[in-house]
């Protein structure tokens, strides 16, 4: 894992009979490169974390499925990423992890993409039988998405060869014909399509139910959270402000350009023309996870023999921190009243 070089945050300076430095709290979070990282980046750049003396240490990961163990061991305080089979296995083992809030939900803009030379051969999902399909992690939510789409035409995930590849490596794999298809997220969907390295084939938002589909979340180490309750509440209050900034930009408010500049300067997507050209993935402006979606993901993992047990929602998610943040910030109101976009509301 690599530390994201951009992310630095100073402690809050308080004036009280003279300037004094507040205690600084470092929060360690693992995140894959994604447009959704704008929430954390905006909360840093606009000083929302700084107001609470929070210094965010971001570690770049390939997939949340690969780092659940690091979260459970306390090497990370939080992980932001997809809902993987590893998360449910951790719950079964009573490891100290819990989902706290939504991070990406319908429309998610994920796409099952195929090699350009296969577009005349692969006309339906049935034509993917026996093909090599890339996913970013073993038992990742991307695998769930592929499986659900295949099931629409009578196939299962066992009918394709799943190859695990980090998103940044998929372009090379497509070019070398090492894979036939891949489930891809923004900004990689945009760049692969723009460079004609891969062709969009299946829009997850149109093909997978129930909706709204919550596919990415923020997970906590519960041992750490119990020892730092106020810090975690403050973190999510600051973070939700950043998430709402993202949602305002999603709907075309003036802050959109600042978000684009932040994503470009952070290296999340350096080609600003793509951020202007393509629609962004959405999220809940209130951090709300769709429980029906969460339970469907869990049930699919059980059916696919990636996990052994099913648990009720209250075992899988703790909404107390995001509820505190919502109560403190009040209702979300879209600034651009002319926006007709769904999501981010």
pLDDT in tens, the chain (345 residues): 444 444 444 333 323 333 334 589 999 999 999 999 999 999 999 999 999 999 999 999 988 888 999 999 999 999 999 999 999 999 999 999 999 999 999 999 999 999 999 999 999 999 999 999 999 988 999 999 999 999 999 999 999 999 999 999 999 999 999 999 999 999 999 999 999 999 999 999 999 999 999 999 999 999 999 999 999 999 999 999 999 999 999 999 999 999 999 999 999 998 899 999 999 999 999 999 999 999 999 999 999 999 999 999 999 999 999 999 999 999 999 999 999 999 999
Indicate the pTM of the whole model. 0.91
Residue 318, pLDDT score: 98
d(CA 56, CA 40): 9
The pLDDT assigned to 229 comes to 98
pLDDT of amino acid 4: 47
Per-residue model confidence as pLDDT tens digits over 14-49: 233 333 345 899 999 999 999 999 999 999 999 999
For residue 11, give the DSSP letter: P
Pairing of strands 161-164, 19-21: unpaired
Q: What is the per-residue pLDDT for 137?
A: 87
Q: CATH says 2-105+212-329 is which class? A: alpha beta
Per-residue pLDDT at 257: 97
Give the tokens for residue 5. 């070089």
Question: CATH 3.40.190.10 occupies which residues in the chain?
Answer: 2-105+212-329, 111-207
Write the CB contacts of 143 (distance below 8 Å, at least 6 apart in sequence).
85, 135, 137, 157, 162, 183, 306
How confident is the prediction for the chain on average, in pLDDT? 93
Superfamily in which the 111-207 domain is placed by CATH: Periplasmic binding protein-like II (3.40.190.10)
**Do residues 39 and 284 make contact, with C-beta atoms less than 8 angstroms apart?**
no
Residue 183 CA, distance from chain mean position: 14
- In eight-state DSSP terms, residue 270 is -
pLDDT score for 5: 42
The predicted pLDDT at position 22 comes to 56
Residue among 324, 323, 321 at smallest CA distance from 78: 321
CA distance 106 to 282: 6
């Amino acid at each position: 894992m690599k530390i994201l070089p951009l992310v630095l945050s100073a402690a809050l300076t308080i004036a009280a009979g003279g300037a004094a430095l507040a205690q600084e709290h470092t929060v360690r979070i693992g995140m894959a490169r994604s447009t959704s990282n704008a929430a954390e980046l905006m909360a840093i750049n606009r000083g929302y974390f700084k107001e609470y003396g929070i210094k965010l240490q971001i570690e770049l990961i390939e997939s949340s499925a690969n780092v659940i163990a690091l979260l459970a061991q306390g090497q990370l305080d939080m992980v932001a990423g997809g809902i993987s089979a590893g998360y449910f296995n951790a719950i079964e083992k009573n490891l100290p992890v819990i989902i706290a809030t939504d991070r990406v939900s319908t429309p998610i803009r994920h796409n099952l993409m195929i090699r350009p030379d296969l577009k005349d051969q692969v006309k339906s999902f049935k034509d993917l039988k026996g093909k090599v399909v890339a996913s970013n992690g073993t038992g990742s939510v991307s695998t769930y998405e592929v499986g659900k789409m295949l099931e629409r035409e009578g196939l299962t995930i066992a009918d394709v060869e799943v190859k695990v590849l980090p998103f940044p490596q998929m372009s090379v794999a497509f070019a070398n014909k090492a894979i036939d298809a891949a489930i891809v997220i923004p900004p990689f969907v945009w760049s692969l399509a723009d460079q004609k390295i891969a062709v969009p084939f299946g829009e997850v938002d149109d093909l997978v139910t129930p909706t709204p589909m919550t596919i990415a979340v923020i997970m906590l180490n519960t041992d750490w959270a119990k020892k730092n309750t106020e810090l975690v509440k403050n973190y999510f209050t600051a973070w939700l402000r950043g998430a709402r900034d993202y949602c305002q930009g999603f709907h075309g408010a003036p802050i959109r350009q600042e978000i684009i500049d932040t994503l470009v300067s952070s290296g999340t997507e350096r080609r600003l023309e793509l951020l202007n050209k393509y629609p962004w993935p959405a999220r809940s402006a209130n951090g709300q996870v769709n429980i029906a979606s969460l339970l469907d993901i869990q049930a699919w993992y059980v059916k696919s023999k990636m996990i052994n047990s099913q648990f009720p929602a209250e075992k899988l998610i703790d909404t107390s921190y995001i509820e505190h943040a919502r109560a403190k910030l009040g209702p979300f109101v879209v600034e651009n009243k002319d926006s007709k976009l769904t999501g981010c509301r």
